[in-house]
Structures are given as C-alpha cells and as structure tokens.
Structure 1
Amino acid sequence: MPDSPALLVIGECVADIVRRPGAADRTHPGGSPANVAYGLARLGRRTTLLTQLGPDPDGRLIEDHLASAGVRVLTDGAGAPTPTATVELDDAGRATYGFEITWTLGPVERGVEPPRHVHTGSVATALDPGAGTVLDLVRSLREQATVSYDPNVRPALMGDHARAVRQAERCVALSDVVKASDEDLRWLYPEEAPRDAAERWLRRGPAVVLLTEGAAGATAFLPGSA
C-alpha cells in the first residue's frame, strides 16, 4: 500500500441507525463516499477520506471502522455532529426514515496529499455550504488527478430540484468517470429516459458514463459508441 498511487475520496460519513420496537438501536458505519474509501483501502489502495466526523460515539465508531481497512481520515476540524440516518421499523416491518445530516465542510489547508485520482458525490456535492468547498477542491486538483463522480441521489436531502440539477451537471463536467443509477437520473430528469440523460451527460466531457439499472445490468456510454 505505501507505494500505491494516492487516492482521495471527498464526502460524508453517516451513522446508519436501525431502530426496532423493544430492541436496542443498532448503529452501522455508512455514507456512500465513506463506503468507497473503505472498499478502495481493502483493495490495497492508499486512500484518504476528507470528511466531517463529530467528537461523539458515532464518529468514533465510523473512524475505527475506516481505520480497520487502512483509510486515512482527514477532517476540517469543525467538530460538527456526525450525520445520522435512522430507519424505524414497526411491528409489521414497515419502515420510516429520518435524517440528521449537515455538511459544512470548510477548506482544509494541510494534510491533503496530491492524489492521482479523486472520487466524490452523494450529499457532499449537493448539500450547502460544504458542497461549494468540494467543488472548489475538485477544480483545484483537476489538472493533476482524474475524477469520478456518483450523484447517489437522496431526494429528501437534495433541496431545490433545479439547483440540484445544476449542481450535478457541474460535477459531471469536472469528471472523467461518472456512475449513475436509473433512479438517480429519473429523479434529476423526470421527463427524460435515463439512457438519453446518460448520453447527454457524456457530451459534457466525461470519458465514460456508467448507467446502472438494477437487475437489468449496467451500460457504459463512451464517445463515439452511439
């Protein structure tokens, strides 16, 4: 791992809390970017996660989980509470969801090793004020690193729809590789077929757009493949 190229993931960690009647809460480490960082480190890649974790039990749980795979965790030091997503299951197994997620990532002056690749997406690129910091950092690294982006749309957290679309399109234009699900694209462009939206995203500059469609598999859209 020490000799492998440096990889940087920018995005949120989330404590996923499962609540059942008559049982103690169960908390699991989560967050789409954090999961990417964990997977990369498990594959032997030298990986840093730039994120926010609170000085609380949820933050310590997630940091220990990431460290167990070899992820270097870097924070802005703001001390914001660790984000949580709670699923409450009733006696019939029906679920309701609640989110306590803020993303206020500020500039990080030290500790970010020049990476060969940057990955970002999800809440980190959609939720202000931290989303602006993420885009500024990706832009600053764009000349030296390749970039991948996964919108991982969470409708309850996306805010104004038109703004969310603009933000996603800015991220696409900065990226070399984009991965999106058909559900992501249906939410962003409800009047457009996901494959048409993926092809349009490709024209914004990425080398490849990957569209996942659940059991129907995945499709890679490449320049000149139409």
Structure 2
Amino acid sequence: MILCAGESLIDMVPEDGAFRPLAGGAVYNTTVALGRLGEAVAYLWPISRDVFGEVLLRPLAEAGVNTDLCPRSDRLTTLALVTLTGGEARYSFYDEGSAGRMLSPDDIPELPDAVAAIFAGGISLVPDPCGAAIEALVARNHDRLPVMLDPNIRPFFIKDAEAFRARLDRLMPQADIVKLSSDDLEWLYPDLDPASAARKVLETGPRIVLQTGGAAGAHAHWAGGSVAAPAIRTTVADTIGAGDTFNAGVLASLRRQGLLSKAGLAAITADQIREALTLGAQAAAITVSRHGANPPWAHEMPTG
C-alpha cells in the first residue's frame, strides 16, 4: 500500500461568475488518482468535521482510499481560491489555523506494516507545525521505505524562503524520487536551465529526479543518465491536478513493474523509467482534458 501524506483543501473554482467548491490539494489529488487507477493507497492528513470535510471524504471513499490514519478535527478546512488565465491555474490560500496546518510531529503514528512506500509534498511542507510533521514522517521511515517527494512549490505561499529551502535541503536527500516542475526548478536554481537544475538536485542524494514541463513532456535523471517521455496531445480544459495525476501514474507504474522498493529503484533501467513516465503522462492528459482535478479511473486509461 502507498501512503500519501499532505494537504487536502477545497478549490474554489470560477464557474459562471461564481465559485464552485471542489475537493483538491496536491497530495490529496495524487491520493485520489492512485485509488482511481486501482492502486492500494492510504491517506494521512487531518480532515475537518465541517461541511467541506465531508466533501473531501467522499472522493476518497469512492476511490477506495484507506483513511484510517486521518484524524478528524474541529478546525476549518483550508480553502484555495483559484483563478484561471489561459487555462493555467493560480491560487490564493486561506489556511491560517486550519485542520491540516495544525498537524504536528506528535500526531504522526507508527505506520502499519501494509505501507510499502510514501508519497509526500505540496504546500503541507511549507508552514509549521504541519511541515515539521511531514518532515518527521519522512525522517522516521525513509531508511526502510521508498519515498517520493513533490514539493509543488508555490512561491506566494512561502513567507520564509530561507527556512523552506533549508527544509527541502533536509528532505530531498532522504527521498528516493523527487519530482519537480520547470517552475519548481527555476525557483530552486534561477541561474540554471531546468535539466541542469534537475541534475543539481540529483547530486544531493535522490535516486531519481523527475522533471516535468507541461507540453514539453517529462524527463527523468538518474545515475544511468536521462530519459524522456513526450506529453500526450489533448485539448486542455485547465491544468488543475495535472502534475498530481502524473505522480500517481508514475507510482502506479513502478508498483506494477515491481520496482516500488529500495532494491527495485536501485536497479531500475531506462526502459522501466520511460514506462513510468509514459503512464504518468497518459493519466495527466486525461486530467487536463476536463475541468478541475478530476483524475482518470482505470477503465479510462489507454490499454496495450
């Protein structure tokens, strides 16, 4: 079972001059996508008892996600006000004192034996105490479990860039896979092109660094060199949840190939990585073809 740890929130998406509340959050989207793809997945993040908490729980249940590790909270659900410019999503967050933000390191449980890998990231890495909680989860488990990290950097959400960089400097060497968009890489290394920046991250310790760039496709950098997979051509409705769904496709492919383990990732080949990138791109293409973070179900994925 893959454990996903990180934020869930309500995306307030513009619709007909108003805003429609949709379940979202980077790590939450990846969790739902994994469940819809038929993977065994669990979620770790506080869920509010407010009405939006029920909105968040419904897609998790429909996708078969295990929520036993999700504490319920009387604090409010985080809101993200979404604006769309040319199909590209931009966000304003209402998060102070929210259910998820107040997750602390003391709230992190011992993980069940069924957990075989960890996925973490998103804005949950930025503020404390929740950022420290996710960092503690990774620190306690990375020696025995493979970890995939997607910081999904939102500069406008980061009040202390130096502290956040320091957290990433601690987390990325503990991760087996780090996924970074071109925008993430530009924020980390503004003087380098994306490929050079990705290789710079690789030097810090991860086994694989995934570099995504929308229509430019996805690249993977690892000890064996670099491989690429093109983006899948489709009509884009919006990009909400695209990278999150890509993450789920990669993880699902690695699990299906028997590679989602420390040993498997240590011996991975170029063809195996390319297969994972391709499934990630196929899943993301379906998500961007429809509005909101609405990842595909297994029966919607290409076969063969």
Q: Which residue number in structure 2 is paired with residue 31 of structure 1?
A: 25
3-state SS of the aligned residue for 2:47?
Answer: coil
How many pairs does the alignment contain? 218
Equivalent residue in structure 2 for 1:62, among 40, 56, 59: 56
Q: Which residue number in structure 1 is paired with residue 76 of structure 2?
A: 81
The residue type equivalent to 1:46 in the other structure is A
The separation in 2 between residues aligned to 1:152 and 1:134, in whole angstroms, is: 14
The residue type equivalent to 2:42 in the other structure is T
Higher strand share: 1
Answer yes or no: is 1:44 the counterpart of 2:44: no
- Segments of structure 1 that go 5 or more residues without pairing to the other structure are 1-5
Which moves more between the two structures, 28-37 or 72-81? 72-81
3-state SS of the aligned residue for 1:153?
Answer: coil
The residue type equivalent to 1:9 in the other structure is C
The residue type equivalent to 2:107 in the other structure is V
Kept in 2: contact 1:126–1:168 (CA 8 A): no
Q: Which residue number in structure 2 is paired with residue 3 of structure 1?
A: none
Shift of 1:87: 2.9
> Moved runs in structure 1, 4+ residues, more than 4 A?
19-23
- Please list the CA deviations of residues 192-221 of structure 1 after superposition, one character each: whole Å capped at 9, or x if unmatched: 322222111111111110111222212111
Kept in 2: contact 1:52–1:82 (CA 8 A): no
Kept in 1: contact 2:40–2:65 (CA 8 A): yes
TM-score calculated relative to the size of structure 2: 0.66
Higher helix share: 2
The residue type equivalent to 1:10 in the other structure is A
Kept in 1: contact 2:108–2:133 (CA 8 A): no
- Please list the CA deviations of residues 168-194 of structure 1 after superposition, one character each: whole Å capped at 9, or x if unmatched: 222211100111001011122222322
TM-score calculated relative to the size of structure 1: 0.86
The separation in 1 between residues aligned to 2:83 and 2:193, in whole angstroms, is: 33
Kept in 1: contact 2:50–2:74 (CA 8 A): no
Kept in 2: contact 1:153–1:184 (CA 8 A): yes
Q: What is the percentage of aligned positions where both structures have the same residue?
A: 33
Shift of 1:111: 7.4
Shift of 1:77: 3.9
The separation in 1 between residues aligned to 2:108 and 2:81, in whole angstroms, is: 33
Aligned Cα root-mean-square deviation (Å)? 2.5
Shift of 1:110: 4.9
- Segments of structure 2 that go 5 or more residues without pairing to the other structure are 227-304
- Label 1:193 to 1:20 Cα distance change in 2 as closer, same or farther (>3 A): same
Shift of 1:88: 5.8
